[in-house]
Chains A and B, each alone.
Chain A
Amino acid sequence: MDEIIRQHYDVDGSDFTRAGEASGKIKKTLKDIGFTPEAVRKTAIAVYEAEINLVIHAGGGEIDVEITPEHVRIVLTDHGPGIENVELAMQEGYSTAPDRIRALGFGAGMGLPNIKKYTDEMDIQTELGVGTVMTLKINA
């Protein structure tokens, strides 16, 4: 693989059952082009957590992927409420998710800590009432 592969996904914020579709496709792409199983899984878990966040917290958003032979970079953009306290949100167990989300198996306050754990770089730019841009990088 020599050239850079770019992908774009729109994530529907109204359909929880479809959350994870984009992550599944990204995972398959990385697997097909020969990323190591560890890099594939780390990316899949991180982007899946982030995609779930787009749906449960932000009313949907967009995912842009850039794959080079050295790394995969994923930018998740939403126009949701923003994250009030990023430091707090990064703590394991801290969650602002409502009970209806917990009933679906998420909202345990593990999302952002998991994303951090499985990525080599993670950056969050967020503004209340404007939205959030999260950039993830995983080395191949």
Chain B
Amino acid sequence: MTAKRFGPVSLIKHAILWAAVAMIVFPPYVLVLNAFKSKEEFSQTSVFKLPDSFLNFDNFVSVMTRAHLDRAYRNTVIIIAVAVIGNVALGTMVAYILGRFDFKLKKAVMGAYIAVSFVPTITTQVATFTVVHNLHLYNTLWASIVLHLGTNVLQIFIYLQFLSNIPKELDEAAMMEGASLFRIYRTIIFPLLAPATATIVIIKTIDIYNDMFIPYLYMPAQKLTVVSTSLMNFSSERSTEWELMSAAILMIMVPIVALYLFFQKYVFAGIVNGAVK
């Protein structure tokens, strides 16, 4: 408004924001410096010193095989792919039913989803543990898939909001032409919910990628490690080898940061929608 583009006020603002950005970037920056150092180089130089070469990828190669990151990435991707596809299918179905039809138990269904959202996930694992055991899902990738598959209140709200903007006349016109309700869901509702789906896919992918407790608790087998648990295992073996750990941490951190930078619009849409509802 009145502040000039390069006036003192805006200079102070930029200075404050740069200081905050520096605070954010400082810890990962130190990781980047040290992930490219050899063992000797690391022990002989300050943590703030630039590495001899940013082309020394030895640590990354070594971590890939020693921490079995290839397997961890693969398991994580499988869980995300199956859980997210299922989750979007179920989420759109629930939203279509709740948004377009009236029936007796509608309020009860909505109420159940809202009630469940008040219960922090970790607290119920004491009881969920028994359920997962009895369903023979313990130590299978299905444990994580199934626990991430169900829809939740945030997702339903986002979908319902988009659904209310799809004119009912579209449904009615299709009905005039004799389309079945399932066909209306498949050819009209589902495609028109695509922007909301994009947001949900990104948010859900980040959620599952970052999840630690479910894989830690239900998939302790070596061959089932995901990114979070493989890093925990690697750390318990080699926490003193900083240059290796720095590379390992970066390899876990970077993929999701890249995804975020690429799809930030959808991330912010999901966060804001979820909070303000």
User: Do A and B interact?
Assistant: no
